[in-house]
A and B are shown apart, each in its own frame.
Chain A
């Protein structure tokens, strides 16, 4: 082995003493040992990912099993169609990723670039849809426990895409412009390798807006036809608009109650009543509140508190579940789980871009495809986590 080449920190990873691959690190004997080490390392990393997510699954299981009525109430605000669509998108990206590994192993460079580009595009669509889901909930006040806003109190009128969406879309928009310019320049210069990178990246950035568009379309379609969500969005979109009456909290809360009972039908009303009635802690808490309230002046009581007192213990309806802030806990867990998952998608997009650059430089072959395989493993575990998140959050009532 040449001593010069083995100097650590200078030529690491470029020791061609064994002649097989320019990427064989000096401390490995052959490409297979290197590949196996990397693969073992990646599986171990996936183990840490599983345990990392386990904390949130634990929180989910805990609070779901303790407060099932909250889950029943809150999960109706999630848009199943969008969830299912996103599941499909992620599954498709998994397919293209797995196909990409195959291409790398078979030296199909063109195919690898296309597969990676499609995977990136799917990731962007996923994030676009997610952006719609998030901003829609933010507008409705469906926020984590500390800032959750009751769905039975007057609030802001919501219509069309919110300004949050513009904020979230700023970076993808910048990406479209930047990658567009880069793509144009590389085409003009005739730099094939650069244009092979810039093109897919431009498509990826555009895919985000495709996702946003699809999300908007589904969201409004859902709001139009589906009873569950219509109920949720009722005081914002529908006939029961109560905005502008902040002082009239009493009436609004009552109105919300009736509305819930009417639209919701037998399947949802029965359960929460039984559940809440079965939980004496809530009852006594409610009683305390009522008993303590006569002594209080209105000086510190906000409109919200007044409305809270109006909800009588006897009528333990969805409005009560809502008021108690338990629904906020659901959304805390929802945002934590999907948010951390979305961060993983973003991280995956960064390493996919790195792969794309290397793929255009023809780095991969049947001896050296480790990076594609490892990123593939990572991408699949992100998909795998979503496979569980989708039914747990969106489907199970």
Chain B
């Protein structure tokens, strides 16, 4: 075997055929049907949305440094927190993991060439873009001040582009539905031979569960915002007490989507953590089936608990109690996941690199987020804490400490695969530390604020609360710096990063079997399907600074080296 010429030929071919450079020009990206390119475009899109909403968050924290109007008036403050919430929810968190990372990973993890409906996938991306433009244009034009929840009758009477914004949400909803639909079909029909349901990577289980929610819940959001738009345009009176409609019914409609949407946000993050914990502990996942089933359980239970957003809204007592009981059922699968992740590290070989540190931060923060949910699920304490900063802190611990930190961990984990470049470990760890410290400093004081009675969405507040607000604001700026460092790390890696080996972390899922970045057709030869968490045949190679299979798990598959290109 003449290793050197074959290797260089292979390297050249990889260089030529990798999906980033295979075809060039703006249109080759804008009209691409390649799931990897669409995933990358999503990544850039959601990161821009996050950047925008993050700046708004810092503006809010700056304003809240003093109890009175610091530099914004009330109206501006209301518009800015609405924008912050709406952009974060609809443009960042919901599409972040499924649409950006999911698009890139789902087909590769399945050893497939693409998602089932590539054109629908591109359509979904453009729906997201147009929805985003529509939404942002509407909100920046006159300023929307309804809060991201559009509660009636405020949203039916306030001045502002409510109709345009709801149509933006409607379009974004369709984008989300199509992504979910695509993933369900892809995972159902395009698994390779040998990959049964319980040989799937847990990220795919999480994505599958997420997609179920997207398909089932998002249409209800669609009809809700459509009825809200009709309410404003034609006064149909379904939600408007002016015509004997019922605002509490609006809240039922809204939360029937928006509570499951919370699981659209967190489940993919949990899927990422399942992968990260196993790969970076170099240890087979503990309790695979429990984690897989708990994803589905969370998705289904998630539909039963929407009423816990409405404990003080004027729901009837009987409904309130039922919803409280159901709410606690959803806490169990989440707890199971956390315990299984911890047990995965037991007797493993834990590599404390950037993605792993993010994963460990996730467990720390998500545990706080989850446990504080107990206060809010319990009826008597929720009566006091509802709509206070306690709730604000709780959902930021889940959404930011959970989803965002998981997302960052996932981005760092798969960054070498997506771009073919390694990033600076040192600065990656620094960013993680800053994010962790800044985040806790921002939101821990808010629990105390909430239990002392500080209501949310207040532009001005009573002076007793100032100290804690100032601490929180300082934390927010540290968090902001941490995120900028993270951005710097990935941008630096694009320019100066060392070339990534196919398998830098020693992962056993299929995406690590193709080159980094993958060729446009993903796999030159059909990948070997094996247990996604079996690390025994992997061996670290110092020369490549990556991992390789030393003895193929099955005898009938060809050698590790892919066949030369067939043209």
Which positions in A face B, CB cutoff 8 Å? Answer: 1-3, 6-10, 12-13, 25-27, 33, 36-38, 40-41, 44-45, 47-56, 58-59, 62-63, 143-147, 324-326, 328-329, 332-333, 335-336, 340
Contact = CB atoms under 8 A, between A and B. Distances in A.
Interface in B176-235: 177, 181-182, 184-186, 188-190, 215-220, 222-224, 226-227, 230, 234-235
A3 B227 CA distance: 49
Nearest to A59: B238
Contacts of B141: none
B54 interface: no
B159 interface: no
A6 B185 contact: no
Contact of B237 (A7, A9, A145): A145
Contacts of A335: 234, 236
* Majority secondary structure, A binding face: helix
B219 to A, nearest CB: 4
Contact of A8 (B33, B112, B190): B33
Contacts of B185: 37, 40-41, 44
B222 A52 contact: yes
Contacts of B114: 8, 26-27
Contacts of B120: 41
15 contacts: A9-B34, A12-B119, A25-B118, A40-B189, A48-B216, A51-B219, A55-B219, A55-B223, A55-B253, A63-B238, A144-B237, A145-B237, A146-B243, A325-B237, A332-B230
A146 B567 contact: no
B220 A55 contact: yes
Contacts, number: 153
Given A55-B253, A146-B237, A328 B216 contact: no
A55 B520 CA distance: 42
B223 A7 contact: no
B215 A144 contact: no
B227 A8 contact: no
B33 A12 contact: yes
B219 A328 contact: no
A3 B236 contact: no
B520 A7 contact: yes
Contact of B216 (A33, A51, A58): A51
A45 B181 contact: yes
A59 B31 contact: no
B28 interface: yes
Contact of B236 (A41, A54, A62, A144): A144
B32 interface: yes
A100 B32 CA distance: 34
B222 A62 contact: no
B76 interface: no
Contacts of A145: 235-237, 240, 243-245
A340 B520 CA distance: 41
A53 B22 CA distance: 44
B188 A3 contact: no
B238 A37 contact: no
